[in-house]
Structure formats: structure tokens, C-alpha cells
A and B are shown apart, each in its own frame.
Chain A
Amino acid sequence: MAKVNTKLAGKFSKSKFQRKLFIAECTVPAIILFAVFMVYPAINVFYMSFFKMSSLSLEKKFVGLDNFKVLISDTKFWQVFRNQIFFIVVVTIITIILALFFAALLTNSNLKEKPFYQTVFFFPNVLSLVVISTLFIQIYDPSKGILTATCNALGIQVAEQGWLGMATSSRWCIVAAMVWQAVGYYMVMYIAAMDGISKDLYEVADLEGMSKFKQFFAITMPLMWEIIRVTIVFFIISTINMSFVYVKIMTPTGGPDGKTEVFLTYMYKQAFTNSNFGYAMALGVFIFLFSFALALISDKLTQKETVEY
């Protein structure tokens, strides 16, 4: 009996070992890649932020926290900071509202063309951001753009210096492009979440005479709250990342009076055009910590008791 036991145990542990080996085989390459291409560069950013050096980094000079001191007193950076917050807040709010609205509309209605609308809304996500930016530049074009032409045809005299050229409108122009691109993506996510909610709940609500509008806030929202929370973190990260492309293409100089300059365009300018790599790395560290903190804060603020059925 004992013999059999050890034999069994041996077999068991052997297969367990093999299993572990297999898992290791599969994960080690990914871990190596992750370490080499993500962890190492990230640590390097922290390390390089303590140096004064050009983008060629042929000559380095250790300056301690000087780059961070400069960052705190750099008024232009704080303007950039305000711009970035503006983009994060405005794009997130508008996109969430629109995406939820369209998602609710498509889930609750019995439209035959539902898949068609889903595709149409999702379509901008298939396009490259560069294409979208160029497209919107054409729309905003001061001489032949469709927006200007429409306003002129309606007899409204606005934006004589071009939509992207005025301090008041340039940010909103970029917000519009970003929202247009993002709505479809989040809409699909919300539709998936809404489809997961049992139809029974709505039936009961209908029987109780609850309006569709009320149903949305009483049933749909609480049950998909977790998904919305996750997407808020997505919004923060993707707005910081993607605003770079939009701004770089639509307002290459950072917009009128620096109104559209964002974190990454400013970092890029400092690193390459201005040849101040150390400072750019300090900016990188700040952006990293900032987005991390913002994600954590938003997570804490939106924490509610999870409702499930």
C-alpha cells in the first residue's frame, strides 16, 4: 500500500513538475520581453531624469533633482498640465455620455439595422489616428473646410482665423476628433455589459410601470458600474497617449497661445527639438506618476458596493 502511495505521489509530483516547467517555458519569453522592452526602459527613464544630457546622450552630467526643480518652476509646463487635465476631463465626460446613450439606444431598441449602426459607430476605431486627424483638419480648413463652408452658407460669421487657429476653439476642435474616434469603442464595451443584464429585471420594471429613463439609472447603471469604472482608467491612459497624435498633426506648434500643447508633445519637444533629454525624462517620470495617481484616485472615488443579481 505504502509502495503504491509513493509511486502515485512520485507520478503526481512529476506531472506537477512538468506542468510547472511547461508554464515556465511559456511565460519566460514573455517575461524576458516585458523586462527588456518595458521594465528596463521604464527604470531607465527614472535614472536618466537625474542627468543633464542631449538627445544623443554622448555626454552626461549628473544633476540630481535639478530637472525636477526646473519642472516645478516651468510656467509653460503648468499650462501644458492644465491643457492635459482639460482634455482628460472633457473627453471622458462627453465620450461616456455619448457612448452610454448610443449603447442604451441600440440595446433597448429592436432596430433591424442594429449591426449596421454598431459597425458605423465602431468604424473610426479601425482608422489610424493620423488619418482621423488629417480628416478633421480638412473639415476645419479655413478656406475650403466643410464646417466653415456650412457656417458661411448659414450666414454665420465665425472663426475668421480658422477653427484650429483661435485660442477659444482649437481645444474643442481636438476634443471633437477624439470623441468621434472613441465613442464607438466604448459603446461596444457598454453594449456587451448591457447585454449581460438579465431581461427579467426590465420586464419586472415595465410591469411596475417604471419609465425607460428611470430603468436606465435604476437597473442598467448600477449593474454595469464595474465596467464604467474600468473604462474610466482606460480614458485617462488613452487620452494622455492619443492626444499626442492629434495635437502633433492638427496643431503642430501646440496651438494658438500654447492652448493645445499636451504632456507628450511637450516632452517630445524638449527631448528632440530642444535637445534637452534629461528634462524630458523628468517630464516622463512626472507623467508616469501622474497617470498612475489619477487612475488610483478615480478608482477610489468611483468605488461603490458592487451590485450583482
Chain B
Amino acid sequence: MRNIKKILALMCVASLGTAMFAGCTKVSDVPQNSDETQAAEAGEETATDGSEKVLNVAVFQGGYGREVWDTLAERFEEEHEGVTVNVTANPKLGDVIRPQIMSGNPPDVIFLSATNESGVLQSLIQDKALECLDDVFDDEMKAKFVPGSLDAPTISPYGDGKIYAAPLFYSTMGLFYNKTLFAENNLEVPKTWDDFFELGDKAKEMGIGLFTYAAANDPSYNEIVFNPAIASAGGPELLEDCFNYKEGAWTSEPVKKVMGVYQKIADGGYLLDGTLAMTHTQSQEQFLQNKSLFIPNGNWLENEMKDTPRADGFAYGFTGIPVFEEGDTPCVWSNIEEIYVPSAAKEIDLAKEFIKFLYTDDSIMTLAESTGAIPPIEGAADLTKSVLSDSVYETYAITEKGYTPVTGGFAMTEQSEISIRDDIYNTLNSIMAGEKNVDEWSELIESDSNKLSEIVLK
């Protein structure tokens, strides 16, 4: 009997012990692809004699997939003798690399945009742990970029003009509609908000909604409408003031007017029924079924929904944001996805070399072909026109229809309990649910903004 107890106890101890060590495997050690792992191992072995180098690239595996990075890595290896590129791709990349960064062993290159919920880029900026990329962005390089794209607060976070993250992709976002549905019902793409709500009344007659969005999991899709509408109603300076927490910006008349648009959508019953409980995929499904005239979205929509059933003859149409008065500058939102190098990386020079390599024409073509996204470089859309799908090209060509692209983001601050983006877009949900009104909304954001203005990073 005693022996049995002993054996049992030993087994318990042993199993606990193994459980303890089982937890120690690093996520990065798990082979993603056997060839690669072998290559990486080979690289590590020979790295000691100085001729071989290993570049660790960590990429977010979202709508763009992983293959394109493998292709690019291979090409980079061919061009740089003795270099092995090790790609880690994961949909939960933030969770994978956070422990690596904390232990002082970060990947050399990270592609995980600031809008990702992991907040890795924000943390790196706050901790001043990013490598300055001014070597990559010399004057010649800077001249190639679309004006304004290098001034975004995540690209140049400390207000000194130095670049700490590279804008790898840029896209314009706006309102998608179904061209066929519009043609069949003699509907016209709206120029002003009045046109927009007229369409809403027609939609009601048709028994469908005017507008839907990803209320349940990401109401911040509405920045696609909200920000350019502010820029159009109050000028780009006002949007800038809003982003920089200037006093009174959020209670100004134009901002309230934009908030009023949402109030009108809610009060007038223009919102597609059930929207508040829909995730982005659900709302997009409804849109494809002609249940709603418009949905705010980006150029990844077509690719993301390629396997989803849709109404007969569905054809993607894309337009910018309506204006309040004819004669206002129509605007469209553009977004940047960042790629960056942590200052604790081992192969900093090689990492910079890799980022430069991503901006070569060949790489731009490869990226555009498989992701449909292009960098904010002048002429990139025309360069890649042959490989972009129509709906994607249309989003880039919107600027030629007289829409001005606006971009930006909230100035980075020290740690704070306030998440102003959450407050804006979660309150937008509350407006739609009839729980709050425009005054409460703008006052809440103004008070957030006042608090944040005191702790802006310098």
C-alpha cells in the first residue's frame, strides 16, 4: 500500500515537473515551416564565423497571408550572400513577440501596424525602443513619398522629424456600394450628406438599410467616415487639432456637425437592423446580400469576402465621404501600415537594408500582386495597376476623382487610462443605440482630450 502511495506521489511530482518544463518552449522555436527551420538552424551554426547572418522578420499574418513574405525573404537571400531570413508569421503576432521584446531578444524587423489591438508599436514608441530609420529615409528616398505620409505620429512620433517606423502599405478607405444595385434602382452616388440621406429614404422604400458597420467588434471602422468628414467640414487643420488634443477642437461646430450625421442615421432609422450586434464579417455579409447601401471599409474587402455568397451581379463600387455643402473639399481617409526595427535588434544594418529592399520596384510589384496593397510612393498605383483588382485600383484612383486623401492619428502620449479612440467609437455605438446624444459625446471626448494634452510625448 505504501509503495503504491510512493509511486503515485512520484508520478505526480514527475508530471508536475514535465509540465513545468513544457511551458518553457519559446513560441518562436516552434517550426512554422520545416525547410525554413533547417535553414535557420544552419544559419545559426555558421553565424559564429561572421560570414553568415540571420535576419529575423516577424510579420502580422492577416488578410495578406504569409507566402508573399517567404517569396520576398528568398529574393533577399539571393541578393545578399550569406544571409538567412527567418520569417515568423502569426495572426496573434503581438502575443508571440511581446515576450521576445521583453527579454531583450526582439525580431530584427516587425510588421505589425499601430491599429493592431496588441499595441506593440505604441509601447515601443512610449519606451523609446525603436531604431531611428533616417539612414533609410535619406532626402532622395523621402522625395519619392506621397506628401504627408512621413509625418504621421506613428512614423515620426517625437515631433522632431526623425523617422522611427516606415510606412510599408498605404490604402485609401471610404464607402463601398454595389454598382449593380445602384444602376438597377437609378440611385446616384451621393456627393453631399443631403444626397446621402435621400438615398436613405429610398433604401427604406426598398426595405433595406442605408448604412452598416462592424459595431460589435470594431466600431472604429467609422474613422473612415468620421475623420475625413471633420477634415472636409472644418478643414484639415481642425482634424490636426483634434488629433493633437487642442482645447475646444472636439466641441467645435464642425465636429458636432459630423457627430450629428450619426445622430441622424440613428434617429432616422437609417441603420441596418441588427447592426449593433454584428461583427465586421457579419456586417460585410449583409452588405454583399444587398441589405445595406453602404459600408465603410478598405481595399481588403474584396479579398476578405471572396468566398462569401452575394447578391446576383454584385459589383464593387467605391466612393469618398460626402460633404455638407457643395463646394467643400471632399475627402477620403487613408491609412498607413508600419514596419519597424526595435533598437535592441541584433542585425540592425541588415534590417534597414531589408526595409530599403521592400521599397524597390520589384518588391512593390510582388507585394501588390499578392496583397493588393502598395506603399505611399508616388506612382506606385500606376506601376502596379496591372496586378491590382479593379475594386482595389478604384480605391487608389479615388484621389483622381477630386477626393483629397487625409490621414493622421492621435499624438502619442505617456501611459494613461484613457483610450480616446475607444471612447469615440464605443460612444458612437451608444449613439446608435439611443443611449447618448451628440453633446454628451463631444464633451466626453473633449474631456479625454484635455487630460491627454498634458502628457503628450516629446
In the complex, how many angstroms separate the beta carbon of B424 from the nearest chain A beta carbon?
Answer: 12
B429 within 8 A of A: yes
Cα–Cα, bound, A128→B409 (Å): 39
Cα–Cα, bound, A30→B415 (Å): 38
User: Beyond A29-B13, A70-B417, A275-B126, is A164–B101 a contact (Cβ under 8 Å)?
Assistant: no
Residue contact B273 to A142, C-beta cutoff 8 Å: yes
1/0 contact trace for A188-213 toward B, CB 8 Å?
A: 00000000000000000000000000
Question: Which residues 165-183 of A sit at the B interface, judged by CB distance below 8 A?
Answer: 165-167
A308 within 8 A of B: no
Residue contact A56 to B101, C-beta cutoff 8 Å: yes
| Stretch from B115-123, B149-157, B237-245 that touches the partner | B115-123
Cα–Cα, bound, A58→B126 (Å): 10
Residue contact B273 to A161, C-beta cutoff 8 Å: yes
| CB < 8 Å neighbour of B276 from A74, A148, A256, A269 | A256
A140 to B, closest residue via Cβ: B277
Name which of B16, B101, B277 has the most chain A CB atoms within 10 A of its CB.
Answer: B277
B20 to A, closest residue via Cβ: A33
Cα–Cα, bound, A141→B123 (Å): 36
Residue contact B123 to A22, C-beta cutoff 8 Å: no
Residue contact B273 to A160, C-beta cutoff 8 Å: yes
Residue contact A165 to B118, C-beta cutoff 8 Å: no
B275 within 8 A of A: yes
Cα–Cα, bound, A141→B219 (Å): 18
| Stretch from B38-46, B255-263, B347-355, B430-438 that touches the partner | B430-438
Residue contact A54 to B435, C-beta cutoff 8 Å: no
Which of chain B's residues have a CB closer than 8 A to the CB of A59? 126-129
Which of chain B's residues have a CB closer than 8 A to the CB of A274? 119, 415-417, 419, 422
Cα–Cα, bound, A76→B429 (Å): 16
| CB < 8 Å neighbour of A258 from B13, B277, B426, B432 | B426
A125 within 8 A of B: no
Cα–Cα, bound, A142→B275 (Å): 8
B286 within 8 A of A: yes
A273 within 8 A of B: yes
Residue contact A54 to B216, C-beta cutoff 8 Å: no
| CB < 8 Å neighbour of A277 from B273, B276, B279, B415 | B415
A284 within 8 A of B: no
Residue contact A253 to B117, C-beta cutoff 8 Å: no
Residue contact B6 to A275, C-beta cutoff 8 Å: no
Cα–Cα, bound, A160→B128 (Å): 48
Residue contact B118 to A272, C-beta cutoff 8 Å: yes
B432 to A, closest residue via Cβ: A161
Which of chain A's residues have a CB closer than 8 A to the CB of B6? 22
User: Beyond A251-B216, A274-B119, is A279–B415 a contact (Cβ under 8 Å)?
Assistant: yes
Which of chain B's residues have a CB closer than 8 A to the CB of A235? none
| CB < 8 Å neighbour of A30 from B16, B102, B215, B429 | B16
B128 to A, closest residue via Cβ: A59
Residue contact A143 to B274, C-beta cutoff 8 Å: yes
Cα–Cα, bound, A165→B428 (Å): 13
Residue contact A165 to B275, C-beta cutoff 8 Å: yes
Residue contact A253 to B429, C-beta cutoff 8 Å: yes
Residue contact B278 to A257, C-beta cutoff 8 Å: no
Cα–Cα, bound, A167→B276 (Å): 10
A60 to B, closest residue via Cβ: B127
1/0 contact trace for B165-198 toward A, CB 8 Å?
A: 0000000000000000000000000000000000
In the complex, how many angstroms separate the beta carbon of B93 from the nearest chain A beta carbon?
Answer: 13
Residue contact B415 to A56, C-beta cutoff 8 Å: no
Which of chain B's residues have a CB closer than 8 A to the CB of A70? 417
Name which of B12, B124, B276 has the most chain A CB atoms within 10 A of its CB.
Answer: B276
A84 within 8 A of B: no
Cβ-Cβ contact count across A and B, 8 Å cutoff = 150
A41 within 8 A of B: no
Residue contact A253 to B277, C-beta cutoff 8 Å: no
A64 within 8 A of B: no
Residue contact B218 to A253, C-beta cutoff 8 Å: yes
| CB < 8 Å neighbour of A55 from B13, B98, B217, B279 | B98
A254 within 8 A of B: yes
Which of chain B's residues have a CB closer than 8 A to the CB of A54? 122-123, 126-127, 415
| CB < 8 Å neighbour of B415 from A164, A167, A252, A275 | A275
Which of chain B's residues have a CB closer than 8 A to the CB of A164? 216, 276-277
Residue contact A273 to B117, C-beta cutoff 8 Å: yes
Residue contact B274 to A162, C-beta cutoff 8 Å: yes
B313 within 8 A of A: no
Residue contact A56 to B433, C-beta cutoff 8 Å: no
Cα–Cα, bound, A148→B274 (Å): 10
Residue contact A256 to B429, C-beta cutoff 8 Å: yes
A26 within 8 A of B: yes
Which of chain A's residues have a CB closer than 8 A to the CB of B70? none
A74 to B, closest residue via Cβ: B417
B309 within 8 A of A: no
A258 to B, closest residue via Cβ: B426
Which of chain A's residues have a CB closer than 8 A to the CB of B273? 142, 160-162
1/0 contact trace for A43-58 toward B, CB 8 Å?
A: 0000000001111111
In the complex, how many angstroms separate the beta carbon of B333 from the nearest chain A beta carbon?
Answer: 20
* Chain A residues at the B interface, C-beta cutoff of 8 Å: 22, 25-26, 29-30, 33, 52-59, 70, 74, 76-77, 140-143, 148, 160-167, 251-254, 256-258, 269-270, 272-279
* Chain B residues at the A interface, C-beta cutoff of 8 Å: 6, 9, 12-13, 16-17, 20, 94, 98, 101-102, 117-120, 122-124, 126-129, 215-219, 271, 273-279, 282, 286, 291, 414-417, 419, 422, 425-426, 429-430, 432-433, 435-436
Listed from nearest, the 8 A-B pairs whose CB atoms lie closest are A162-B277, A142-B274, A165-B276, A165-B277, A54-B123, A58-B127, A276-B415, A257-B430
Between-chain CB contacts (< 8 Å), 24 pairs: A29-B13, A33-B20, A54-B123, A56-B101, A58-B129, A59-B126, A143-B282, A143-B291, A161-B275, A161-B433, A165-B215, A165-B274, A165-B275, A167-B433, A253-B218, A253-B422, A257-B426, A257-B435, A273-B118, A274-B415, A275-B119, A275-B123, A275-B415, A276-B417
Known: A257-B433, A273-B117. 16 other contacts (CB 8 A): A26-B12, A26-B13, A59-B127, A148-B274, A161-B273, A161-B433, A162-B275, A165-B277, A252-B217, A256-B276, A256-B430, A257-B436, A269-B422, A272-B118, A273-B119, A279-B417
